[in-house]
Structure 1
């Protein structure tokens, strides 16, 4: 399409306008030089449910709230001091992956897909930093529940079942059942965090 219409063109998708930038110099202008003007991500009805109407850092409009969220995220997780304090913990979790693989006879003879084990490692790193808590193993019921919640959230957030409501607002009333599923999942997910992690951390 860029060969036909040029390096900058407009697509009208229902009620939404989508600007396509394919030239590297123009993309630099959009993403870097004028990043403040183009920094806010488009929102939709499903992400509003999962992010409290864009109150997270990813979908919030660039401005005061975004800057507050950046401070909230940076101080406990991304300063040099925090990185240094947690570096030993990260190494411990990585060492545990290697030890688990070495101890598993099936790995030596048949091999294994380590995606799940790496997922456990990443969850433990995040949960130890956020909640001072970790999952015991891949069979830990809380780990299974946490991964299910996140998988279901991703499935609902990326589904084509609701996209038509964003582009054709007149059809949004037909989304009521789908949006109720999203609200129910968000309620159960927040209750899970509150019951097992946030209250404990307090």
Structure 2
């Protein structure tokens, strides 16, 4: 405990000085930055975000305008909340804003941002998109698997009908739609029926996909403090580092 307190006493003043220097640099910048709510050293505007962040951001936007800056830890985030500003970002300056934010969870699950979903915009991403459009999502390719989709949807409707007429038991639609999606993907990609395949554990696959979805939406201290090793140290203290390793395990199992 004494080591931890000594560590905090050493690291906190360093970050306060660094944050103050960065704030002065931004204020003296030649760029005209959007307005920003009052912030604290180190945490920035994190104290403005409570259990319902979307409502907090909406309230801040009504006060500071359709374009504002929030400092989530040491990471500046531009919040756009009007159609005119969204058009500027997504249409006029779409190339500058086309790359997704880098986060620990997405890095682990995308093998270092090498997939088409989270990869940075560039030549490599354009080539991946070209291959996906030609080999996976072309009209001819999509139509060739139409019978699979029709068969699986028919089976799902039949199951729902039997459940309502014969057993009159409640239907878990989330589980049903997951099974539908997994069945279609399994037949298209592997040529095997998801329910009859011997080497596929349905319960385990559903658990892994659910954990992967949670990992993609999970924030870590490293996401908020990406430089200097401060975020990683806090993640290690609060057990987030073990969860990051769990993301790597999920990624390897999904690949298998």
Contact 2:98 2:121 in 1 (8 A): yes
Specify the alignment match of 2:153 in structure 1: 94
Between Structure 1 and Structure 2, how many residues are aligned? 187
1:46 positional shift: 2.1
**Does 1 or 2 have the higher relative contact order (CA < 8 Å, sep 6+)?**
1
Contact 2:163 2:169 in 1 (8 A): no
1:107 positional shift: 5.6
Match of 1:165 among 197, 214, 222: 222
- What RMSD, in angstroms, separates the aligned Cα atoms of the two structures? 2.2
Task: Give the TM-score taking structure 1 as reference length.
Answer: 0.82
Question: Structure 1 stretches (4+) deviating beyond 4 angstroms?
Answer: 105-108
Match of 1:177 among 242, 247, 252: 242
**Richer in helix (by share):** 1
Task: Give the TM-score taking structure 2 as reference length.
Answer: 0.66
Task: State yes or no: 1:28 paired with 2:93.
Answer: no
Task: State yes or no: 1:80 paired with 2:145.
Answer: no
Whichever of the two has the greater Rg, that structure is 2
**In structure 2, C-alpha distance between the alignment counterparts of 1:159 and 1:78, rounded to whole Å:** 30
Task: State yes or no: 1:14 paired with 2:92.
Answer: no
- Stretches of structure 1 that go unaligned for 5 or more consecutive residues are 194-202
- Stretches of structure 2 that go unaligned for 5 or more consecutive residues are 1-59
Task: State yes or no: 1:121 paired with 2:180.
Answer: yes
